[in-house]
Amino acid sequence: MKNSRIRGRRKRMNIFLPIASMGDIAFLLIIFFMLTSKFMKESHVIFKEAESPDIKQIEDSAISVIVDNEAKIWLQGKLCGSPEDLRLAVERLVMDKKDKVVMLKVDRNIKESEFGPILVSLSKAGVKIAMIGTKSKSYEHQ
Protein backbone atom coordinates (compact mmCIF):
# COMPACT_ATOMS: atom_id res chain seq x y z
CA MET A 1 0.00 0.00 0.00
CA LYS A 2 2.84 2.32 0.81
CA ASN A 3 4.48 1.70 -2.57
CA SER A 4 1.34 2.65 -4.51
CA ARG A 5 1.24 6.09 -2.90
CA ILE A 6 4.81 6.84 -3.77
CA ARG A 7 4.42 5.67 -7.31
CA GLY A 8 1.28 7.79 -7.90
CA ARG A 9 2.83 11.12 -6.92
CA ARG A 10 4.47 13.27 -9.50
CA LYS A 11 7.07 15.83 -8.84
CA ARG A 12 5.66 19.33 -9.48
CA MET A 13 7.67 21.63 -11.67
CA ASN A 14 8.09 25.25 -10.67
CA ILE A 15 7.01 27.61 -13.44
CA PHE A 16 8.82 30.93 -13.70
CA LEU A 17 7.24 33.82 -15.61
CA PRO A 18 9.36 36.93 -16.27
CA ILE A 19 6.81 39.43 -14.97
CA ALA A 20 9.28 42.32 -14.83
CA SER A 21 9.76 42.35 -18.59
CA MET A 22 5.99 42.26 -19.15
CA GLY A 23 5.66 45.29 -16.89
CA ASP A 24 8.31 47.11 -18.94
CA ILE A 25 6.46 46.34 -22.16
CA ALA A 26 3.14 47.54 -20.72
CA PHE A 27 4.78 50.75 -19.47
CA LEU A 28 6.32 51.44 -22.89
CA LEU A 29 2.98 50.85 -24.62
CA ILE A 30 1.26 53.31 -22.29
CA ILE A 31 3.88 55.98 -23.04
CA PHE A 32 3.58 55.31 -26.79
CA PHE A 33 -0.19 55.73 -26.81
CA MET A 34 -0.06 58.86 -24.65
CA LEU A 35 2.38 60.50 -27.06
CA THR A 36 0.61 59.49 -30.25
CA SER A 37 -2.89 60.35 -29.03
CA LYS A 38 -2.08 64.09 -29.05
CA PHE A 39 -0.84 63.94 -32.63
CA MET A 40 -3.83 61.90 -33.81
CA LYS A 41 -6.31 64.49 -32.50
CA GLU A 42 -5.08 67.03 -35.03
CA SER A 43 -3.95 64.81 -37.88
CA HIS A 44 -7.08 65.40 -39.99
CA VAL A 45 -6.92 69.23 -39.81
CA ILE A 46 -5.30 70.77 -42.89
CA PHE A 47 -3.36 73.99 -42.42
CA LYS A 48 0.02 75.56 -43.27
CA GLU A 49 2.00 76.91 -40.32
CA ALA A 50 2.92 80.56 -40.32
CA GLU A 51 6.62 81.42 -40.67
CA SER A 52 8.73 84.06 -38.97
CA PRO A 53 12.40 84.49 -38.05
CA ASP A 54 11.36 85.57 -34.52
CA ILE A 55 9.85 82.25 -33.38
CA LYS A 56 11.09 80.84 -30.05
CA GLN A 57 10.84 77.28 -28.74
CA ILE A 58 8.16 76.66 -26.08
CA GLU A 59 6.92 73.63 -24.19
CA ASP A 60 3.87 71.84 -25.55
CA SER A 61 0.56 72.74 -23.99
CA ALA A 62 -2.25 70.28 -23.40
CA ILE A 63 -4.75 72.60 -25.12
CA SER A 64 -4.52 73.21 -28.84
CA VAL A 65 -6.58 75.47 -31.12
CA ILE A 66 -6.17 75.42 -34.90
CA VAL A 67 -7.62 77.81 -37.48
CA ASP A 68 -7.46 75.91 -40.77
CA ASN A 69 -7.26 77.11 -44.36
CA GLU A 70 -11.05 77.64 -44.45
CA ALA A 71 -11.00 79.70 -41.21
CA LYS A 72 -12.72 76.87 -39.29
CA ILE A 73 -11.88 76.66 -35.59
CA TRP A 74 -10.66 73.33 -34.19
CA LEU A 75 -10.26 72.74 -30.43
CA GLN A 76 -8.36 69.59 -29.51
CA GLY A 77 -9.02 68.24 -33.01
CA LYS A 78 -12.80 68.76 -32.83
CA LEU A 79 -14.66 71.36 -34.88
CA CYS A 80 -15.79 74.33 -32.81
CA GLY A 81 -18.62 76.53 -34.11
CA SER A 82 -17.82 80.12 -33.20
CA PRO A 83 -15.28 82.15 -31.20
CA GLU A 84 -17.84 82.32 -28.36
CA ASP A 85 -18.21 78.51 -28.35
CA LEU A 86 -14.42 78.32 -28.27
CA ARG A 87 -14.25 80.64 -25.25
CA LEU A 88 -16.77 78.56 -23.28
CA ALA A 89 -15.04 75.28 -24.14
CA VAL A 90 -11.57 76.61 -23.24
CA GLU A 91 -12.87 77.97 -19.93
CA ARG A 92 -14.14 74.48 -19.07
CA LEU A 93 -10.82 72.88 -20.07
CA VAL A 94 -8.61 75.21 -18.00
CA MET A 95 -10.91 75.45 -14.98
CA ASP A 96 -8.79 73.20 -12.73
CA LYS A 97 -5.41 73.57 -14.44
CA LYS A 98 -2.37 75.46 -13.27
CA ASP A 99 -0.93 75.76 -16.76
CA LYS A 100 -3.39 77.94 -18.67
CA VAL A 101 -1.48 78.11 -21.95
CA VAL A 102 -3.28 77.51 -25.25
CA MET A 103 -1.31 76.74 -28.39
CA LEU A 104 -2.90 78.63 -31.29
CA LYS A 105 -2.01 77.49 -34.80
CA VAL A 106 -3.31 79.69 -37.61
CA ASP A 107 -3.06 78.84 -41.31
CA ARG A 108 -0.56 81.17 -42.97
CA ASN A 109 -3.15 82.39 -45.51
CA ILE A 110 -5.79 83.45 -42.97
CA LYS A 111 -6.19 87.20 -42.49
CA GLU A 112 -6.15 88.97 -39.13
CA SER A 113 -9.81 89.90 -39.55
CA GLU A 114 -10.61 86.15 -39.49
CA PHE A 115 -8.44 85.05 -36.56
CA GLY A 116 -8.68 88.31 -34.54
CA PRO A 117 -12.03 87.37 -32.92
CA ILE A 118 -10.47 84.05 -31.89
CA LEU A 119 -7.63 85.88 -30.12
CA VAL A 120 -10.18 88.05 -28.32
CA SER A 121 -12.20 84.99 -27.23
CA LEU A 122 -9.12 83.24 -25.89
CA SER A 123 -8.13 86.40 -24.02
CA LYS A 124 -11.60 86.56 -22.46
CA ALA A 125 -11.17 82.93 -21.37
CA GLY A 126 -8.20 84.05 -19.26
CA VAL A 127 -5.51 81.96 -20.92
CA LYS A 128 -2.03 82.71 -22.18
CA ILE A 129 -1.85 82.37 -25.95
CA ALA A 130 1.19 80.81 -27.61
CA MET A 131 0.97 81.27 -31.38
CA ILE A 132 2.69 78.40 -33.17
CA GLY A 133 4.60 78.61 -36.43
CA THR A 134 7.74 77.56 -38.25
CA LYS A 135 11.01 79.44 -37.93
CA SER A 136 12.12 80.80 -41.30
CA LYS A 137 15.42 82.27 -42.42
CA SER A 138 13.81 85.39 -43.81
CA TYR A 139 10.25 86.62 -43.62
CA GLU A 140 8.49 87.20 -46.93
CA HIS A 141 5.00 88.64 -47.30
CA GLN A 142 2.72 86.65 -49.56
Q: Is residue 110 part of a domain?
A: yes
The radius of gyration computed from the CA coordinates of the chain, to the nearest angstrom, equals 27
Cα separation of 48 and 61, whole Å?
19
The count of domains in the chain is 1
- Give me the amino acid identity at 22: M
Indicate whether 88 belongs to any domain: yes
**C-alpha–C-alpha distance, residues 29 and 14, integer Å:** 30
Tell me, yes or no, whether 91 lies in a domain.
Answer: yes
What is the pTM for the complete model shown? 0.57
Residue 94 is part of which domain span? 46-135
Query: Is residue 96 in a domain?
Result: yes
Model pLDDT, residue 40: 59
pLDDT in tens, 86-114: 999 999 988 888 778 888 888 888 888 99
Give a yes or no: residue 70 inside a domain: yes
